[in-house]
Structure 1
């Protein structure tokens, strides 16, 4: 009886039911779209952060670089020996640690022993500046054109030239090439800068290659230098062989070369030292607690978490994320509340126009609860229809965003401290004093099952709210009201 009557009444009031369902659908669709875009923003930010530190890294431990001594610039310098030849080719590599003051390797074990730390591994960031070119010796010539660099020259008129000799010709032509190198612990590659890289050609290091002169090269740098597996190159006279080409899992890598830790320490003249300690916590929810633990027990170090790093991300990605989080969510809530109120008012209005119907039903013996159940049932069906339409609209909008994939930029700024969580020198870590990289991220809007479940819950809630208001009004009607409405 209930189902037959429900079906008949909904069929009679298709237009009113459709208006109520569409109102709920728009609110639900907006919630799904905003929630999906927010999830895409979170994924985009995760991609940016993963480009700065190894996959699975929760925090890094570094130490701020001390100020250079008085009278010292602290910058790179090059010394070339004088040679007697008129044209001499010169070449020199300047290798410097990058990202903060070097830490003792024993500190890695000390950090790993802290409460809440699952594992820790050290890495050494280096910057290599290569200068090569040649000097050309100039020739001294007097104003009379003679190459003699002596005093005055005899002139045809009997006079002498007293002009000082001048150096003509000569000079220098040098090329400067700077690139980044990271020394990795080959026995623990699952944590640290190489963890976020994917080997696309060749292979990665083996645990036996702790002292081997081998390298994994980033794809972009290999393309620039035309390196391939088996190619060789030199750093400060040490020959390395390329064994693999790597591509970052997301965005771009700021590290050009990866080599085993021990050869890197030799190149940087920092034996048994690292610049960054990558840390993985036993519980990702206790990262802030582990950070405090390390800071309190190991003085003089800077602990940087992914949350600290996220605060340095700016650009259109950060702006869009803020809008989606604040304006978007509040707007969707406001529209959803308005949709609920409109549905409730329309249902109540529809009930007021059915005075004769409900009054007659009560006169025939229907209790108030049956009348209320009828109104709530109709509202629930309207809510479910609105939910289905809202899910379709919301999912369609989310897939449209994913198909368009608008590009967002993320500028990686700096935070205070020694080194950052950057995968290597030159890039991205908070400690890079003068570096700000810009990454381009394609925005997606993934729709999760949780979002769909939320939409269904909102549809049911909207139906219940509308039904409760309409049912309350219907239950207060008296049979006499029906008699007064008969013409």
Structure 2
């Protein structure tokens, strides 16, 4: 009886039911859209942190580089032999540690022993500046007469003085980054966020082998393939694999076994970065405090620290989605609930004759209330279905359009966030600190379940108000409306 009457009353009031359902649908759709966009923002921020910093773990330990002195400025210096009588090809590599000040390898063990640390791995980041080209010596020619040449006492002036004709130099400068990897623990470190797409990665026995893994972009740019060789400072390394980062573009070009990188950079038993994995992701702050307390002079950088340095349109959009967007969705949802409740209450007021007659026929107040609540819950479920469809459509539209957001990182010295692991070397700093991300809007099952719950809640709120008003009606009200 209840179901038959409910179906008949809803079919009689299709327009009113549709208005109430649409009001709830708009509020629910906005909640789904904002929640999915916020999830997309978090994914985008994670891509930025992995791509620009190569973190891929809970935290890193570094040490700030001291200010350069006059005697040791750290600037590259190249020496060439220019005494050849003809054009001569010359090349020189300058290898320097990149990022913060070098740390002793023994600190890796100390960090791993701290409470709350699951594992710790050291890595050495180098920057290689390669200069190659050729000198061409000029030829000395005597002037034909005393009037030729500079007559104001300039170079070549005076009778019979030789003048140098031709000669010069043409050199190309190329800078790229090298990361020393602990081949026995590749689950952490600079290679952890990349996937080997061609060839293979290092084996545990290649701790000091002259082998290299190249980033896909670097290999393509320099036409390097698996099985070929890469020469750095006169040492030839066999390319055994090509690595592609999980997201974005790699900021490391060449990966070597840690011992080989230490020998290349003249940094025996030294590392520039210690990658740390905590036993519990909820205790990262406690682990950070313990490392800073027990190992003074180091800088501990967590994912949260890195996230705070991200700016640009990604940060702005994330703030809007987290702040204004969520408050707006809550406000619209509350308004939708109130509108649904008011419309339901208004519809009850227009059904005085109906409910009064039903009470006169013996319907108790609780049955009248159940009837109104049942109609409202159906309206809420209908609104929920429409809202989920609209929300999924909006999320799909955002993903299909994929608006591009930019992420910029605050500049800083080595050892800080901007000089963290994987940061670009000279000539690459701008590229490493700016990144473009295509925004997506993934919708989770939890979000859909939340939308369904809100639909039922909206129907119950509207039904409760309308049912309360209907329960207060008396049979005499119906008789007065007839008269």
Residues 1:107 and 2:110 aligned together: no
Cα separation, partners in 2 of 1:419 and 1:205, compared to 1, 3 Å: farther
Deviations 1:29-67 (A, max 9, x none): 111111111111111111111224557411100000011
Cα separation, partners in 2 of 1:53 and 1:418, compared to 1, 3 Å: closer
User: 2: distance between equivalents of 1:98 and 1:145?
Assistant: 58
Q: CA deviation at 1:170?
A: 1.8
Paired residue for 1:468? Answer: 464
TM-score in terms of structure 1 length: 0.92
Question: Do the aligned partners of 2:49 and 2:55 also contact (CA within 8 Å) in 1?
Answer: no
Question: Do the aligned partners of 2:98 and 2:414 also contact (CA within 8 Å) in 1?
Answer: no
Cα separation, partners in 2 of 1:2 and 1:177, compared to 1, 3 Å: same
Residues 1:291 and 2:326 aligned together: no
Paired residue for 2:262? Answer: 265
Paired residue for 2:381? Answer: 384
Cα separation, partners in 2 of 1:458 and 1:478, compared to 1, 3 Å: same
Q: CA deviation at 1:441?
A: 1.9
Residues 1:455 and 2:448 aligned together: no
Question: Do the aligned partners of 1:407 and 1:442 also contact (CA within 8 Å) in 2?
Answer: yes
Q: CA deviation at 1:322?
A: 1.6
TM-score in terms of structure 2 length: 0.93
Question: Do the aligned partners of 2:58 and 2:276 also contact (CA within 8 Å) in 1?
Answer: yes
Paired residue for 1:153? Answer: none
Paired residue for 1:333? Answer: 330
Question: Do the aligned partners of 2:402 and 2:440 also contact (CA within 8 Å) in 1?
Answer: yes
User: Is there any run of 5+ residues in structure 2 with no aligned partner, and where?
Assistant: 147-156
Question: Do the aligned partners of 2:99 and 2:421 also contact (CA within 8 Å) in 1?
Answer: no
Residues 1:128 and 2:124 aligned together: no
User: 1: distance between equivalents of 2:291 and 2:405?
Assistant: 35
Paired residue for 2:77? Answer: 77
Paired residue for 2:150? Answer: none
User: 2: distance between equivalents of 1:433 and 1:443?
Assistant: 24
Choose the corresponding residue for 1:445, options 436, 441, 460: 441
Q: CA deviation at 1:366?
A: 2.1
- Matches of residues 384-463 of structure 1 in structure 2 within 5 Å? 384-415=381-412, 418-420=415-417, 422-426=420-424, 436-463=432-459
Q: CA deviation at 1:118?
A: 0.6
User: Is there any run of 5+ residues in structure 1 with no aligned partner, and where?
Assistant: 147-159
- Matches of residues 63-74 of structure 1 in structure 2 within 5 Å? 63-74=63-74
Paired residue for 1:154? Answer: none
Paired residue for 2:154? Answer: none
User: 2: distance between equivalents of 1:472 and 1:427?
Assistant: 71
Q: CA deviation at 1:89?
A: 3.0
User: 2: distance between equivalents of 1:210 and 1:470?
Assistant: 76
Residues 1:199 and 2:210 aligned together: no
User: 1: distance between equivalents of 2:193 and 2:222?
Assistant: 22
User: 2: distance between equivalents of 1:200 and 1:171?
Assistant: 44
User: 2: distance between equivalents of 1:384 and 1:132?
Assistant: 72
Residues 1:344 and 2:337 aligned together: no
User: 2: distance between equivalents of 1:273 and 1:230?
Assistant: 29
Question: Do the aligned partners of 1:253 and 1:423 also contact (CA within 8 Å) in 2?
Answer: no
Deviations 1:429-455 (A, max 9, x none): xxx987753222222111111001100
DSSP 3-state at the match of 1:255:
coil
CA-based RMSD of the aligned residues comes to 2.2
Cα separation, partners in 2 of 1:229 and 1:58, compared to 1, 3 Å: same
